[in-house]
Amino acid sequence: MESIQSIKQRFEIIGQDPKLNRALEKAMQVAATDISVLVTGESGVGKESIPKIIHSLSHRKHAKYIAVNCGAIPEGTIDSELFGHEKGAFTGATQTRSGYFEVADGGTIFLDEVGELPLTTQVRLLRVLENGEFLKVGSSQVQKTDVRIVAATNVNMFEAIKKERFREDLYYRLSTVEINIPPLRERQGDIHLLFRKFASDFSQKYKMPTIRLDDNAVSLLIKYRWPGNIRQLRNIAEQVSVLEENRGITAATLHGYLPNNTTSNLPAVVSNSKSESDFSNEREILYKVLFDMKGDLNDLKKLTMELLKNNDSEKVQKDNENLIRKIYGNDDEEDADIEHDTQEDSSINLLHLPEPKQEDTSIIQDSYEDKYHFAEEIQEEETLSLQEKEVELIKKSLERNRGKRKAAATELGISERTLYRKIKQYDL
């Protein structure tokens, strides 16, 4: 068997920590088999090299290796990406397409961020794992494939199972062997080694002398918690390499690059819920904003897909009530402190959609090319029909309550102030 040292060289893995070596050894041992492997570990610890090692040491090495980031593919298209689709299976499926499980027959598929897979896709995946069978989307003909699966996750799978976001049976199928990559703070002996390697890479890249840390800077580097692990360490090595004129780096200089109050080597306190997040620096806030935006974008994609498929906005709204509320929020929030007696009523969630913004439409019209006209027309049509429905609902409620606004507002599940605004807006 190839030595661990040569694997490290081949895959540019730096580090001598026994826990890292153990993870690499495990990868080498399971490579020859077809056992499913789940790679776990915090973000940035280096999970992505494990499936590559497994594939390249296996009998599948001459067949395809496909890495799929499950978190980056919209829910509406992931089944088709993974399993392919038949011509006419859905709008836009103009021809039959092979999915990754067909293309990678005989090879390996790496399912990164596997915890993000939608539940329906998890069912299909379980079937492939159990007997190598799958169906293309829109087809009833069972196909066979011989694919080895390596998956990775940086989320707590037990939490996901508890919250019913991940199937327990699939988890056990995927994690026949689990390879855990420890966080950098548990591999302290490797931290300076990695920093020196990155500093040397960046000095070559930017054609500048290599930066050197003094003793105090080294001990600061080692004590730091590294929540973003090796990815963060490399970013900081790059920043210091580029920005510091004086190539001898002191602890004080280095301190300026490390996010605040995190120089302790105590174990990290990982918050479970978003609302409990304690942002100690701007970058974390930005990460959170980006993360939330990605979530919103995926939700919007899902909603758009539903609208295109169903062409029935009322049904789509009803079916996706929670999603709509999640994306658009509740426009009555501003009134919450004034109107305490307002009741939510899911049957009239139309009223919670944002009001049409004229200026937005005109910006789209002015600055976008022809290819956006389709989307624009849909948006205008939807807005129009939503408005009509809203007006109708308000009128009916006012009639039923004999013009009494407070009663109508309560029935509609909005505040009196919002109702007043809408009456004025629609001239009722």
Binding mask 48-77 for Mg ion (x = CB under 5 A): x-----------------------------
227 interacts with ligand ATP by CB under 6 A: no
CA distance 224 to 425: 57
- The alpha helices in 47-118, defined as continuous H runs, are 49-56, 75-83, 100-103
Q: Are 400 and 411 in contact (CB under 8 A)?
A: yes
* CB closer to ligand ATP, 170 vs 194: 194
Size of the site for ligand ATP (CB under 6 A): 17
* CA Rg value for the chain: 27
Stretch that binds ligand ATP, among 57-65, 157-165, 229-237, 356-364 (CB under 6 A): 229-237
Backbone angles phi, psi at 265, to 5 degrees: -100, 20
Shortest distance (Å) from residue 150 CB to ligand ATP: 12
User: In the chain, what is the straight-line distance between the N-terminal and C-terminal CA atoms, in Å?
Assistant: 81
Judged by CB under 6 A, which of 149, 230, 408, 412 binds ligand ATP?
230
Stretch that binds ligand ATP, among 101-109, 228-236, 308-316, 370-378 (CB under 6 A): 228-236
Half-sphere exposure of 396 (CA within 13 A, CB side): 9
Shortest distance (Å) from residue 268 CB to ligand ATP: 15
> 399, exposed or middle or buried, with CB in 10 Å at 0-12, 13-18, 19+?
exposed
Dihedral angle of Cα 219, 225, 231, 237, to the nearest 10 degrees: -30
Shortest distance (Å) from residue 50 CB to ligand ATP: 8
Judged by CB under 6 A, which of 23, 27, 30, 41 binds ligand ATP?
41
* CB closer to ligand ATP, 43 vs 250: 43
Shortest distance (Å) from residue 267 CB to Mg ion: 23
For Cα atoms 147, 98, 145, give the angle at the middle one, nearest 5 degrees: 25
Judged by CB under 6 A, which of 43, 77, 313, 379 binds ligand ATP?
43
Residues interacting with ligand ATP, by CB under 6 A?
12-15, 41, 43-49, 154, 194, 230-231, 234
